[in-house]
Each structure stands twice: as structure tokens, then as C-alpha cells.
A and B are shown apart, each in its own frame.
Chain A
Amino acid sequence: MSPVLADVLQVTALVVALVLAHRPLGDYMAAVYTSPRHLRAERWIYRAIGADPDAEMRWTAYLRGVLAFSFAGVLLLYAMTRLQDLLPLSLGFAPIPPDQAFNTAVSFVTNTNWQSYSGEAAMGHLVQAGGLAVQNFVSAAVGMAVAVAFVRGFVRFRTGGIGNFWADLVRGTVRILLPLSLVFAVVLVALGVIQNFSDGQTVQTVTGATQHLPGGPVASQEVIKELGTNGGGFYNANSAHPFENPDGISNLLEIFLLMLIPSALPRTFGRMVGSLRQGHAIVGAMAVIWLAGVVAVTVVEHQAPGAASQLAGGGMEGKEQRFGVGASSLFAVSTTMTSTGAVNAFHDSFQGLSGGVLIFGMVLGEVAPGGVGSGLYGMLIMAVIAVFLAGLMVGRTPEYLGKKIGTREIKLAASAILVTPALVLIGTGLAMALPDGERAMTNIGPHGFSEVLYAYASAANNNGSAFAGLGANTEFFNTSLGIAMLLGRFLPMVLVLALAGSLAEQRRVPETAGTLHTHKPLFTGLLVASTVVVAGLTFFPALSLGPLAEGLAA
């Protein structure tokens, strides 16, 4: 079979699997978040928390829950990494220094999983499984909770309540993330991903060399790393490490898992607002952008115009033989457009233009399909913007899903889409103005700049992947990227929840002949255009200094 045909079929297999899962999972998640019933295990958890899961929260109370829970997460993870030498299963690793511990704690709590440490050389099993992987679950559940609360803002009328944060958090974890993780972790083990609590074994090879085969609870962490769009690898090589991702099947499964919830949540949204076609319009826009990225990167990687790739006869630098060009390209686009940030090949060595597409995928705001929860609320914010733009064109007050998009709503939505561009551009500018930026670069020329731009795009949009040549374990990068991750995660959440509260209080605007139909392909096109144009205009100058300059020179 020709490589091109194999690549096409590989992408097709992924899309078919996602389409098959879309309806049952989307409906199931809608049922989870709207059911009045509590499982017995959940009641036990609510008692332990001391929370009443049936109490409706105003958006301010909901936000307090999000922030308090996340703050506790940062504190606990910081303490665990700082004190890891005192913990069991530390494998003899030293405590993580303060700036790196701050960066790591923030990184995992914000669902970013930027890693300035190397897993196999820094983190013991207890910190990985009992600290980092826990945040892989709960940061994902927080994202889904905020998305669902936002949807309730559209669904509800004349009320202050947008749901109960503790109930949403616990249900997302217990009913969605845990069962899926349990099943697919075992599948990954069957394919070769390791799962033990040993410190591995040292073997003597046939030629007399010694090699250490690492141990660890990898499969249990690998699965939630993808499913929760987290991306933090157990090992430095992330999903390129054969113990995390042993073959082509595990590779496609991992891509499937990282796309699964973000691509099914629009169905949940459609179900909750009582019009499945509204969900189709959203997922359609996500799919168009994602597929365009997959095609672009796959084509460029196969052509491999970079000078070293041309000489070598292919762009295999930083790629694994068992994945090859196609599966590496598919993974790269899927991981950057879902805010996952796991990698099965190193993006720093991708072709210049491919790197540009990957950065562009992140600075779209992680909406195609984006992170778990954050992708849906990000795309719905863009939908509000798109509706507003359409309203401007015809000169009438815009409305979306029976809610008026007035001054307050558009201020909140516009602020939300400005947060991450501001963080990316200010952060990149700061790093380039100070000696810290250049000092950390592995690469020269425009690509060195791209390493810095990639870092802030990744941090502010909570992706977590890197042009990993950037030596980011410095006080400057640990601190500034940590701040970018914090603000990039929680400022949009504040604005989204405020918007949810504002929408929920409205009365229904009756549909008229002038109402824009937001469930039609025309709106999907408008949504794609708004998303691409907003990010394109914002980032064109920065992208032309880095990846475009590099790619066009090749």
C-alpha cells in the first residue's frame, strides 16, 4: 500500500471511530450533568467534602469553588514535589527546586502539562501517580464543569443558578473520566504500555552493555493524560517513548482518546440546549479546522523541504520508525488543537511551515476541538463573537440560542478572546527583549524565535507541548510561563462563568424572521472564518517572524 493511501485510511479510521463515539458519549455526558440522581459513591464523596450537591450556585459561588479547588491543587502538588525525597517511591530523586515546582504545580492544575523537568530523571512514582495524574483527572473535570455551567447559562431563564460545582466536578471524574480510563488503561497494557510500581531492572545486553529498563505506573497515567487532554508524559520523550506508546495501534488509540471528549461535548451541548443541530454546527466548525491542519502538516512533512530532511531523504529527524511521517503528523495536529500537548514526535524538528500550523492551532485558542471543556466553552465564546459580527452586518441586536447578546455579553466574550493573545505576545516580547530568551534557544535564526513563541502560545493556551529545544528550566521561564498558564486558564474561566450568570438571568428572546440560524452550515462557515481571522490577524506578524520566515526560506 502506498504511504499516502495508508495515511488517508489512518485518518479515516480515526474519524470513523470518533463519529461512532460522538452520539453515545455526548448523550451520556448530557445525562451525567443533568441527572437529579447521585450514585452512592458520590454521596459518600459529598459527605467527605461537606458539600450539598443539590444546592444551585450563582456564578460567583461556582467560580469560588473552581478557584478554591484549583488553589488547593497547586498547594498540594507544590508540597509533594518540594518534599518528594521524604515520600515513599521517590526512586531516590531530589526535591524539585522552588521555581520548577511552582511551574509544574501550576502546569498540571491548569490542564497544561508543560514540563520543564524530565520525567525519568526527576519524578518518583508517588508524585506521578498520586499527584500529577490526579490533576490529570480533576483539572479535566474542572474544565468540563465550567463548560457545562456555561451551557446552562444558555438553557436557563430568569435564574441566578448555573449548577453545583462540586456535583459537576465529582460526576465528571467518577462517571466519565474514571470508567473510560480504567477500560483503556488495560487496553494500553495489553498493547505493551507498562504498569507496575517497581523501579525497573538493569539488564546486560547481548554485547555486554548495561541498560536500565524503567518501571512505573505508566498505563494508568498515559490514558488520562490523553483522555483529559493533559499531555504530561511519564517520560521525557512523552508518547514517543515505546513504554508509553508501543505501536501503531496504541498510537491511534491515544489520538482517539485525546480527541474523544472534546469532539463529543458539542453533542452534549446540543442535547442540553434541546437542538442537536446546534451541536452539529459547533463540531462541524471544529472538524473543518482540525482536518485542514492535518492535511497541511501531513503534506508538508511528506515533502520535507528542510535542507537536512532533503539531504537525509525524508523528515524522520525526531520521529519514530514505528509511527513514520503520517502518524506523527496526525498526532501533532491533534495534540496541538486539543490543548493536549502530548507528543509522539518532536515538533522542534518538524518542517518550518508545519511548526507554523502547530503554533496556529494553539493560538486559535484551543477550540478545534480544544481541551476537555475548555474547547467547548472557547468555541461557544467564538460563536457569540460570530453572532455579534453577523448582527453588525445587518444592523440588529444579535441573539444566540434565545439569549440577547447585549453590551455586557459582548464585553465579556471579547475580553475572553483577548486574554491568551495578550499573554502570548507580551510574554514572547518580554522573553525576546531580555537575554533569557536567546540564552535558552537551541536553534538559530527564525527557528530560535519560534521556540520562544511556541512556549508562550503553548503555556497561555494550556497546551503543554513545546519546541523542546528551548531550555525552559530557568527561573525566568518557569516563572513567566507559570504566570501565563495561570492567567490563560483562569481569566477566561472567570469571564465565561460571568457570561453564564449574565445569560441565565435573561428572559427568552422570541425567535423572529430576522434571527440568525445558528444550526446551519452557513453559521459553521461564519464560525470557522471568525476563529481563523481573529487569530490570524492577531498573530500574523509574530508567525511571519518565526515559522513563516523559516518555511519560506526552505
Chain B
Amino acid sequence: MSPSVRHAPRVLWAGLRALLVLTLVTGVLYPLAVTGVAQAFFPGRADGSVVRADGRAVGSELIGQTWNGPDGEPDPHWFQPRPSNSGYDTGATGSGQLAAGDPTLVETVRQAREDVAAFNGVPVEDVPADAVTGSASAIDPHISPAYADLQVARVAARNGLPPAAVQDLVDARTEGRDLGILGGERVNVLLLNLDLRALAAG
């Protein structure tokens, strides 16, 4: 019998034992340690940055959601989020995966541009890219400042509020790139709509 065959069971046994020991260290002790520190110092973050209103949890600051009426269609009283491949279902994240030149996607974008323009009473040329493209996660919590600005007139009219006051809300919720250079400019839809609700309630 060759040495490698003779050694095989012993080496395999060592491999399995090494795996079990390292599982204990990196698969049990490590995640528990991180959880302990996270829950001690950043409990709100560690549990999902939950947003509360009226004394109850209404969502997460980080997770986008739908703003539909009882009919399941976008409710014009609210700022609307980006198109989502899953209807903002956190159980099915991911995008539609169509190529940038795909004919089906071209048709989807064309339709979305018309819908967004009609919904907001603006020309199609004014509709920004994020308003007609599906996000990567399908639960993108943000829209571009351009898409938020575009919705101001419609939201103000539907809620009987002065456009300037609604624009102030948008401006206050408009975030620049992080540290001035990282990522993209954005507006958090949930936080903006909660501000809107507070304003509308007087």
C-alpha cells in the first residue's frame, strides 16, 4: 500500500477535527461575539433601523415599501418609490436581470415613462432614469432628488398643501453623496412621506 493511501484515513480525520474546531471558533463564538457587541452598542441598527409612527413599527429606514391605495395602485397622495421587481417583497429580493438593450426592457421603460409623466402631469422628457428602472435589490429605499422634485406639485395638490412647503420637506430629506464623494444623491421615501404626513396633519 502506498504511503498516501495508508495516510488517508488519518489525514481525513485530522481534516474533520480541524473543521469542527474552526467551526466552533468562526461559526459559533465569532457570530455570538459580534451579536453581543452589536446589541450592546448599536441595538437600533443591529435590529434593522426600524421606524416607528403612532407608537408602532411602520417599516425600516433602510427598506423601501409600496405606497399604494386600497386598490393596489400607486396612491397620488404619497411620494412614490422606484419600480420594483418584487413589489417591495423582502422575501424575493433581486432585479429583473434584463440586458441594457433588451427589447422587452425598452418597452417596459417606455411604458413607465408615460405612466410616470401622466401620474405627475409632467412631460415625459422630465422623467429621470431611476423613476423608470428597477433597482438591484427590489427594495431600494431611495429615489433621486430629481424624481422627488418632480413629484412635489402632484403631492402638494393632492394633500391640499402649498407646493413650497412640500418642496421644503424634499430639500430637507435630500441627502448628498456620503462624505461628499461616495455613492449617489438620494431621498429616503419612507422618511419623506412621514414628514409629509406630519405636515398634512397640521
Chain A 341-358 near chain B by CB (<8 Å), digits 1 or 0: 001111011111000000
Cα–Cα, bound, A207→B77 (Å):
11
Which B residues between 1 and 22 are near A, CB-CB below 8 angstroms? 4, 7-8, 11-19, 21-22
Query: Which of under 10, 10 to 19, 20 to 34, or 35 or more describes the interface residues of B?
Result: 35 or more
Q: How far is the CB of B183 from chain A (nearest CB, A)?
A: 3
Chain A 287-321 near chain B by CB (<8 Å), digits 1 or 0: 00000000000000000111111011111111111
Q: A307-B106, A319-B136 are in contact. Are A1 and B97 (CB under 8 A)?
A: no
Q: How far is the CB of B13 from chain A (nearest CB, A)?
A: 8
Q: A68-B12, A313-B129 are in contact. Are A214 and B90 (CB under 8 A)?
A: yes
Q: How far is the CB of B129 from chain A (nearest CB, A)?
A: 3
Q: Are B11's CB and A248's CB within 8 A?
A: no
Say yes or no: is B139 at the interface (Cβ < 8 Å to chain A).
yes
Q: How far is the CB of B34 from chain A (nearest CB, A)?
A: 4
- B15 proximity list for chain A (CB < 8 A): 65, 68-72
Q: A130-B27, A190-B45 are in contact. Are A327 and B183 (CB under 8 A)?
A: yes
- A201 proximity list for chain B (CB < 8 A): 48, 50, 57
Which A residues between 197 and 213 are near B, CB-CB below 8 angstroms? 197-198, 200-201, 203-209, 211-213
Q: Are A348's CB and B109's CB within 8 A?
A: no
Cα–Cα, bound, A50→B7 (Å):
14
Say yes or no: is A87 at the interface (Cβ < 8 Å to chain B).
no
Q: Are B113's CB and A550's CB within 8 A?
A: no
Nearest chain-A residue to B9 (Cβ)? Answer: A68
Q: A201-B57, A248-B178 are in contact. Are A318 and B134 (CB under 8 A)?
A: yes
Q: How far is the CB of A127 from chain B (nearest CB, A)?
A: 10
Q: Are A447's CB and B130's CB within 8 A?
A: no
Which A residues between 108 and 142 are near B, CB-CB below 8 angstroms? 118, 120-121, 129-131, 133-134, 137-138
Q: Are B102's CB and A308's CB within 8 A?
A: yes
- A39 proximity list for chain B (CB < 8 A): none
Chain B 176-192 near chain A by CB (<8 Å), digits 1 or 0: 01111111111000000
Give the segment of A178-186, A383-391, A427-435, A501-509 that binds chain B: A178-186
Say yes or no: is A456 at the interface (Cβ < 8 Å to chain B).
no
Q: Are B97's CB and A321's CB within 8 A?
A: no
> In the complex, how many residue pairs between chain A and chain B have their CB atoms under 8 Å apart?
392
Which A residues between 431 and 485 are near B, CB-CB below 8 angstroms? 442-444, 447, 467-469
Which A residues between 348 and 370 are near B, CB-CB below 8 angstroms? 348-352
Chain B 38-54 near chain A by CB (<8 Å), digits 1 or 0: 11011001111110010
Say yes or no: is B137 at the interface (Cβ < 8 Å to chain A).
yes
Q: Are A308's CB and B18's CB within 8 A?
A: no
Cα–Cα, bound, A197→B193 (Å):
30
Q: Are A249's CB and B46's CB within 8 A?
A: no
- B47 proximity list for chain A (CB < 8 A): 194, 196, 198, 215
Contact of B95 among A166, A313, A317 (CB under 8 A): A317
Contact of A1 among B65, B143, B180, B186 (CB under 8 A): B180
Q: Are A321's CB and B82's CB within 8 A?
A: yes
Query: Which of under 10, 10 to 19, 20 to 34, or 35 or more describes the interface residues of A?
Result: 35 or more
- B50 proximity list for chain A (CB < 8 A): 201, 203, 213
Contact of B38 among A120, A186, A211, A241 (CB under 8 A): A186
Say yes or no: is A154 at the interface (Cβ < 8 Å to chain B).
no
Contact of A468 among B23, B88, B97 (CB under 8 A): B97
Q: A1-B181, A314-B129, A443-B97 are in contact. Are A207 and B75 (CB under 8 A)?
A: yes
- A214 proximity list for chain B (CB < 8 A): 48, 90
Say yes or no: is A252 at the interface (Cβ < 8 Å to chain B).
yes
Say yes or no: is A414 at the interface (Cβ < 8 Å to chain B).
no
A-B contact pairs, 14 of them (CB 8 A): A6-B180, A9-B180, A49-B17, A51-B18, A118-B93, A185-B34, A186-B41, A189-B41, A203-B58, A205-B65, A307-B103, A314-B129, A317-B109, A321-B82
Q: A178-B30, A249-B182, A320-B140 are in contact. List 13 more A-B contacts (CB 8 A).
A: A6-B177, A189-B41, A196-B39, A213-B90, A304-B100, A308-B109, A314-B133, A317-B96, A317-B134, A321-B135, A352-B100, A352-B101, A468-B94
